[in-house]
């Protein structure tokens, strides 16, 4: 609680900060590039954006793996006989 005459100060959990964080999270989850988002947010480097928002990129690496898979084809999974028990894999 603030005293009479004292200015209200927004905390980081309120207001514009939350709106900005939500915006960035939604944009990344939609698949926009980090470079583009960094430019939109006014970050001096995409590294700053990654430091704050990388955890909102659940498909990170998925596109790269899919590209390699399409180039090389899928490789059947090989499990050596020694690692298979009567109940499945060990």
Residue 23 belongs to what domain range?
16-73
Residue ranges, the chain, pLDDT below 50: none
DSSP structure string for 25-85: HHHHHTT--HHHHHHHHT-S-HHHHHHHHGGG-TTTTHHHHHHHHHHH--------GGGEE
The pLDDT value recorded for residue 45 is 93
Tell me whether residue 4 is in a domain: no
Tell me whether residue 78 is in a domain: no
Tell me whether residue 1 is in a domain: no
The pLDDT value recorded for residue 31 is 81
Tell me whether residue 28 is in a domain: yes
The model's pTM is: 0.51
């Amino acid at each position: 609680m603030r005293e009479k005459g004292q200015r209200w100060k927004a905390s980081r959990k309120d207001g514009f900060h939350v709106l900005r964080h939500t915006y960035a999270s939604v944009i990344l989850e939609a698949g926009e590039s980090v470079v583009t988002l960094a430019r939109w947010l006014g970050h001096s480097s995409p590294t700053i954006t990654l430091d704050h928002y990388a955890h909102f990129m659940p498909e990170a690496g998925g596109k790269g793996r899919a590209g390699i898979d399409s180039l090389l084809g899928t490789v059947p999974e090989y499990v050596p006989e020694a690692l298979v028990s009567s109940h499945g894999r060990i």
